[in-house]
Structure 1
Amino acid sequence: MSAEQIKNIENLIPLGKGKKMVNWKIKRFTASGQNYGSLMLSVDIVVKTPTGSEEIHAIAKAIPHSEFIQKLFNAPVTFRNEITFYKKILPMLQRFQRQHGVKEVIDFVPKYYGSRLNLKGDEDKVDQDALLLLENLTVANYTTLDRTQGFDLDAAKLIITDLAQFHAVPLAFKLKKPEVFEREIMPYLRLWVPKQRGRIYLRKKLSQLIDDIEELKPVKERILKVFDESFTPRETRETFATIVHNDCWMNNFLFKLENGKPVKSVMVDYQSCSYGSPARDIVFFLFSSVKDDVLKDHYDDLIKLYHQIFMSTLGKLKCVKTPFIFEALQQEINYEARYSQFVHVAFMLYPIFIPKAEVRDITEHDAKMMLSHKIPEAQKRKFVFIVNEFIKRKWI
């Protein structure tokens, strides 16, 4: 898939009777460093209608040609899963909400226009012609924020509110319709785990980073112990288990701003969704993407806000709320922070803080490139902050 052409684009969007796609313009959408797992193209389409014409402004998400990126993100599986999320799972969850009288259903997801796995109509194969067409949110004045700066309190509150609903609605669906959840949703929720060779390389990079930061050397063995334990297979704890996004970092949230203040957020990139604890997303989001001073002053407030929205959402869907008391959520957070999210956060700092001069196009990515740049001081400071916060909370 190139920036100059999308094959058979006129067959991607169901337009309805009397409408016909007559013109379109395609170009690269994201700059290097904004997206790592897929090729993103902007598509501006003119549609002829019985009464005139209309425009569709979309983003086409395609599989990159890079074999490394395809393997890293398990593209044949994750691309199918993301298409299924937009095409099938999200509408199912929204119908479920409406059936329970909820008027303000999940709305922090871009509009879905169309998709395909290939050009042959083969439902068993994802190839280079696979495509997912979504609303171009920048046309509606949504924007990403500086990934190196982190979110302020207002932005963090918006995202925490959306995450609580994102987790609570499928959890309620699971509790109310367990057989449907198992049959229609679970097959598309697979957690990606690095292979043994990749883990050895990651451990080496983490060890080198600690050696380069004097104040962390005394706790090096404790940090590496947490790294090793992160890859121990563990059974899913069913009480809170739901759909988990698994990639809640800066670049996967867009905001509408009013007078410079975020008033609405949208979450994108559902290719890594899995079945597990919502605490995975909570911990990863807070410690990878929120300003340090906001976490210091408002961590407890943000967790309480999450729980409040989570419980309110379950209540609107007429679910028993007893198993989900605040103390139970805290236990989930403590567990996931200790056994899964420290490593996740630590290595997310590499793409977050990679110097702009060293950012490469998605077609050039490989494992060494993604982790071999000279570590900026800002990344070191953030890593020290995370280690100290995890130690303070007895997660390390």
Structure 2
Amino acid sequence: MITNLQQQIDSSNPNFTINFILDQLIKSKQNPLNLKGINEIESVNIPTMEKLDGEVKYDSKGREDLIEWIDHVLPLIQNSPISLNFRIPQVYAFKYSEQSKDFLLLEDLCFNNQKLFQVELADGLNNEQVESAISSIAHFHALSLSLPSKLIDSFKNHPNLDIDEKSLKIKERIFSTPDTAEKFKGNEEKLLNLFKNFGNYRIDQHKEFGLDPVIVHGDTWTNNFFFKKTEDKNSSEFDALFDWQVVHIGTGINDIVRLIFICVDAELRRLNSIKWLQIYEKSFNKIIKKLGKEEKNLKSFKLIKEIAIYHSKYECCFQLFLIANILGQEKEGTKREKLINRMKCLFDDCCKENGFFNE
């Protein structure tokens, strides 16, 4: 019998509670049990510690870069003299499976009545949320330069991030439904050429600009962002960044371009993209100065803009791929319309000679 949802399973970690296990495991069902606020439950199916010990283990044949991140990078970042200004959840254990039965057991970030919220992709981030997220990610990129060079180099063999239109059936997805097909009508050849010419992820991208590499998150969109929630309303304060499974080295600016392209509606993006790059410049260079690494690592706005443009067409390919995939599951008309419009506006800008980051 469970009499207290805050009962600790692992006494060595105050956040490893039954409530956390239930939240992470049961909510994956189609009709999750509503267990919040229940003080006593006579019978509920949760894994025993023996089952967790037996089945939820690090798999050295799986995500080696994630293991490296968990074991070596995260402790150094979290214990740095310059504090990280957002939270990265501790990973207690994970299991990797070729059959897509991956399992991550993460730290509960909502202890002590802390509340977080996510922004739905279709709703899009507002200006203040984008500013907060970019400032925090820039802070992290700069802080990663304080890591030992050998540790940073261990992430140079990044996962395959090429976007192959044919195998991913992106054109087929876009033209399989009337609403997306209508928006992209007459653009089939341009679409295919975009993926053909810019769908490959550029290796050693930082070297093209003579930069030392930073640690790149690699998957910066709303599904991995959490913001603080106050008692009476949602705030714009960036609080946590999840899912570090494709972490690798690079310029870092691609994290920002992806955030802007995927998470923001076109009107807001076009109006504020230059200002957001300036926020990145200010936040990144502030930490670089604190680290005493000004000589090699300060980034000018001109350079940041140049790098952002360099990444733009690949990140446009990724946005089209991601949203086309999500639209296959989204049935609500208004949300579909917003997502399709975000796709088409980005594609239109991508087809222009100087479509991105114009002052």
Q: TM > 0.5 between the two?
A: yes
- 1:250 counterpart letter in structure 2: T
Answer with 319-328 or 296-305: which moved more.
Answer: 319-328
Name the counterpart of 2:132.
Answer: 158
Describe the shift of the 1:336–1:317 C-alpha distance in structure 2 as closer, same or farther (beyond 3 A): same
- 1:135 counterpart letter in structure 2: D
- C-alpha contact 1:82 1:271 (8 A) present in aligned 2: yes
Name the counterpart of 2:84.
Answer: 106
Describe the shift of the 1:127–1:354 C-alpha distance in structure 2 as closer, same or farther (beyond 3 A): closer
- C-alpha contact 2:84 2:139 (8 A) present in aligned 1: yes
- 1:249 counterpart letter in structure 2: W
Per-residue deviation, residues 341-369 of structure 1 (Å, max 9, x unmatched): 111111221355455559xxxxxxxxxxx
- The separation in 1 between residues aligned to 2:28 and 2:328, in whole angstroms, is 14
Matched, 1:252 2:224: yes
SS in 2 for 1:330: helix
SS in 2 for 1:26: helix
- 1:190 counterpart letter in structure 2: P
Residue correspondences, number: 314
SS in 1 for 2:107: strand
Per-residue deviation, residues 154-210 of structure 1 (Å, max 9, x unmatched): 11111001111122222343xxx323433xx427843444578624x2344356679
- C-alpha contact 2:161 2:201 (8 A) present in aligned 1: no
- The separation in 2 between residues aligned to 1:252 and 1:229, in whole angstroms, is 28
Counterparts of 1:102-181 in structure 2, within 5 Å, are 102=82, 105-112=83-90, 114-115=92-93, 131-137=104-110, 139-173=113-147, 177-181=148-152
SS in 1 for 2:204: coil
Counterparts of 1:1-396 in structure 2, within 5 Å, are 13=10, 15=12, 26-27=22-23, 28=25, 30=27, 77-78=62-63, 80-95=64-79, 97-98=80-81, 102=82, 105-112=83-90, 114-115=92-93, 131-137=104-110, 139-173=113-147, 177-182=148-153, 185-186=154-155, 189-193=158-162, 198-199=167-168, 201-206=169-174, 213=181, 216-217=184-185, 219-232=187-200, 234-237=202-205, 238=207, 239=211, 241-258=213-230, 259-319=233-293, 320-321=295-296, 324-338=299-313, 340-354=314-328, 356=330, 376-392=336-352, 394=354
SS in 2 for 1:261: strand
- C-alpha contact 1:113 1:135 (8 A) present in aligned 2: no
| Identity fraction in percent | 17
Answer with 313-322 or 268-277: which moved more.
Answer: 313-322
Per-residue deviation, residues 210-238 of structure 1 (Å, max 9, x unmatched): 99555644554333212112344643133
Root-mean-square deviation (Å): 4.2
Any gaps of 5 or more consecutive residues in structure 1? Answer: 1-8, 34-41, 45-59, 65-73, 119-124, 359-372
- 2:343 counterpart letter in structure 1: F
- 1:300 counterpart letter in structure 2: I
- The separation in 1 between residues aligned to 2:213 and 2:180, in whole angstroms, is 38
Describe the shift of the 1:226–1:107 C-alpha distance in structure 2 as closer, same or farther (beyond 3 A): same
- The separation in 1 between residues aligned to 2:216 and 2:137, in whole angstroms, is 9
Describe the shift of the 1:343–1:323 C-alpha distance in structure 2 as closer, same or farther (beyond 3 A): same
- The separation in 2 between residues aligned to 1:76 and 1:270, in whole angstroms, is 17
1:242 Cα deviation after fit: 2.0
Q: Give the structure with the higher percent strand.
A: 1
